[in-house]
């Protein structure tokens, strides 16, 4: 094969935010928007990377794919080169490559465009050199893509996005337990229930690779709290451990992490019982916790959530980390437009830039499209 095209989806995290790096639970699903990479093998050792999202073409050599080599690359190229680097570290024999990337995902808005990029590159290049891409091989592949993001692109993210981009299924969410990295598809029959998830992008980007941003700061606070409790990760704490944290900030962060994992389990129970109003109220409780205890929300995200609930959503929350990015609302399909219009009106009245809306449903994970 000389050329392979693969597509990997973005995701919405239905519930379970800031639990991944803490060893807790989350429940994301893959969406219909995604990133496509065409990988073509070259006869020499050159690597060329092009994305329709950026004007520059990056040209280098396989030998440049080292940790030191990343310094000379534009930020976005590191997500791509990082996959090639991690693949070679894992023993993949790579030829020279031309990679052409195209995406219909917004970047930096909490829908995991970075993971979709990494996973589409990994599946395209893996397909090109006949690496196994069956379901059993996808967890190690997700780990490889996560390595690219954390060690090469420098974004200390937890691994949820890559797993769901590679393992999503139509009409299912993916329960991920980061205590032991186990995964389980969970039926999420939104369409059958006449529901959609409305994603409202506030337009305020969150740069997760920014080492001083709120995301990195929260990670540090959680690591500190875990160390104070003598635990490797905060998600392993018990509720009665909270009183052993003297500092209010550490206690609040820990309270969110523990309660959020419990909410993931409660949502799964409510979905199984077809109790969508209960699902919605748990989503809204998650937002309150992310806003209060975790201080990860923004006025625009709060406004989107509050307005959605007032306008008839079953529930709403920020998704994908916060500090900007998107909110989701669980809405009866016939109410989606009214909720969207209410959010637009509220944003205009409060002087926020107009948001962008999309409705999404659970879709399939990454696949080879063409060879
Ligand atoms: P999110 O994953 O929530 O969209 P991140 O901050 O994790 O936000 O990742 C966004 C970054 O990923 C962009 O700034 C860019 O560097 C890279 N990226 C995402 N999609 C593309 C693309 N289609 N082409 C090039 N780079 C991309
Ligand atoms: Mg990302």
* Angle 208-33-301 from CA coordinates, rounded to 5°: 50
Ion ligand 2, residue ranges at CB < 5 A: 114
Confidence of residue 230 (pLDDT cuts 50, 70, 90): very high
Mean pLDDT over 264-288 rounds to: 98
pLDDT of residue 210: 53
- pLDDT of 18 above 60: yes
Q: How confident is the model at residue 1 (pLDDT cuts 50, 70, 90)?
A: low
Residue nearest to ligand 1 atom 27, measured at CA: 76
pLDDT of the residue at 96 = 98
Return the pLDDT at 293.
97
Query: What pLDDT score was predicted for residue 109?
Result: 80
pLDDT given at position 40: 98
Count of CA atoms in the C-beta half-sphere (13 A) of 285 = 17
Closest residue by Cα to atom 20, ligand 1, is 113
From 12, 38, 108, 211, the mutation candidate for ligand 1 (largest count of ligand atoms within 8 A of CB) is 108
40 CA distance to ligand 1 centroid (A)? Answer: 22
114 lines ligand 1 (CB under 6 A): yes
Centre of ligand 1 from the C-alpha of residue 297, in Å:
20
Separation of alpha carbons 193 and 104, rounded Å: 27
Tell me what the mean pLDDT of segment 22-50 comes to.
97
pLDDT in tens, 24-33: 999 999 999 9
Ligand 1 touching residue 80 (CB < 6 A):
no
Answer yes or no: is the C-beta of 107 below 6 A from any ligand 1 atom.
yes
Say if ligand 1 is within 6 A of residue 216 CB: no
Q: What is the CA radius of gyration of the chain?
A: 20
Q: Which residues pair with 356 in a beta bridge?
A: 201
Ligand closest to the CA atom of residue 326? 1
Q: What is the pLDDT of residues 296-348, one digit of tens each?
A: 999 999 999 999 999 999 999 999 888 888 999 999 999 999 999 999 999 99
Quote the ligand 1 centre to 131 CA distance (angstroms): 25
Atom of ligand 1 nearest to the CA of 103: 23
Whose atoms come closest to the Cα of 79: which ligand? 1
Q: What is the pLDDT of residues 232-274, one digit of tens each?
A: 999 999 999 999 999 999 999 999 999 999 999 999 999 999 9
For the cut 60, the answer to whether the pLDDT of residue 100 exceeds it is: yes
The confidence band for 217, taking pLDDT boundaries of 50, 70 and 90, is: very high
**Closest C-alpha to 295, from 219, 218, 369:** 218
Ligand 1 within 6 A of 117 CB?
A: yes
Specify the pTM: 0.93
Decide if pLDDT at 178 tops 90.
yes
| Structure tokens that stand for 225 in this block | 């709290």
Q: Considering the chain, what percentage of its residues have pLDDT values greater than 70?
A: 98
- At residue 211 the predicted structure's pLDDT band, cuts being 50, 70 and 90, is low
In this predicted structure, what is the pLDDT of residue 371?
84
Residue 288 CA to residue 282 CA, distance in Å, equals: 10
Q: How far is CA 36 from the centre of its chain?
A: 17
Say what the pLDDT of residue 206 is. 58
**Confidence category of residue 212, pLDDT binned at 50, 70, 90:** low
- Taking only the tens place, the pLDDT of each residue in 342-359 is 999 999 999 999 999 999
Q: Do residues 166 and 365 touch, judged by C-beta distance below 8 A?
A: yes
Residue closest via CA to ligand 1's atom 12 equals 114
Pick from 255, 334, 266: which is nearest to 292 by CA? Answer: 255
The count of other CB atoms within 10 Å of the CB of residue 128 is 23
Is 307's C-beta closer than 6 angstroms to any atom of ligand 1?
Answer: no
What confidence score (pLDDT) does residue 207 get?
Answer: 53
**pLDDT for the residue numbered 80:** 98
pLDDT of residue 195: 98
DSSP 304-322: HHHHHHHTT-SEEEEETT-
What would the mean pLDDT of 69-94 be, rounded to a whole number? 97
- Whether 225 has a pLDDT exceeding 70, the answer reads yes
- What is the chain's mean pLDDT, rounded? 95
Question: Which domains does the chain carry?
Answer: 3-187+364-370 (3.30.230.10), 195-360 (3.30.70.890)
């Amino acid at each position: 094969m000389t050329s392979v095209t693969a597509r990997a989806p973005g995701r919405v995290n239905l519930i379970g935010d800031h639990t991944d790096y803490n060893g807790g639970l989350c429940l994301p699903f893959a969406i219909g928007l995604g990133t496509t990479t065409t990988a073509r093998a070259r006869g020499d050792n050159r690597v060329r990377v092009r994305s329709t999202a950026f004007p520059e073409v990056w040209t280098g050599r396989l030998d440049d794919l080292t940790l030191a080599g990343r310094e000379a690359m534009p930020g976005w190229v590191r997500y791509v080169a990082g996959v090639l680097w991690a693949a070679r570290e894992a023993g993949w024999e790579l030829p020279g490559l031309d990679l052409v990337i195209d995406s219909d995902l917004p970047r930096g808005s909490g829908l995991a465009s970075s993971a979709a990029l990494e996973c589409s590159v990994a599946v395209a290049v893996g397909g090109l050199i006949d690496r196994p891409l069956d379901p059993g091989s996808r967890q190690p592949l997700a780990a490889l893509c996560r390595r690219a993001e954390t060690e090469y692109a420098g974004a200390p993210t937890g691994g949820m996005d890559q797993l769901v981009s590679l393992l999503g299924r139509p009409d299912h969410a993916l329960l991920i337990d980061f205590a032991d990295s186990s995964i389980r598809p969970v039926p999420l029959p939104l369409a059958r229930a006449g529901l959609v998830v409305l994603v409202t992008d506030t337009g305020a980007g969150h740069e997760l690779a920014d080492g001083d941003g709120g995301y990195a700061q929260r990670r540090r606070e959680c690591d500190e709290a875990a160390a104070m409790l003598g635990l490797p990760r905060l998600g392993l704490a018990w509720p009665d451990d909270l009183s052993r944290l003297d500092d209010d900030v550490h206690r609040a962060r820990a309270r969110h992490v523990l309660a959020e994992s419990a909410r993931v389990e409660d949502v799964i129970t409510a979905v199984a019982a077809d109790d969508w109003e209960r699902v919605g109220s748990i989503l809204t409780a998650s937002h309150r916790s992310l806003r209060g205890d975790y201080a990860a929300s923004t006025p625009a995200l709060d406004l989107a959530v509050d307005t959605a609930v007032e306008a008839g959503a079953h529930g709403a929350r920020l998704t994908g980390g916060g500090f900007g990015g998107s909110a989701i609302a669980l809405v009866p399909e016939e109410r989606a437009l009214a909720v969207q219009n209410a959010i637009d009106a509220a944003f205009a009245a409060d002087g926020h830039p107009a948001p962008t809306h999309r409705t999404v449903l659970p879709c399939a994970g990454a696949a080879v499209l063409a060879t």
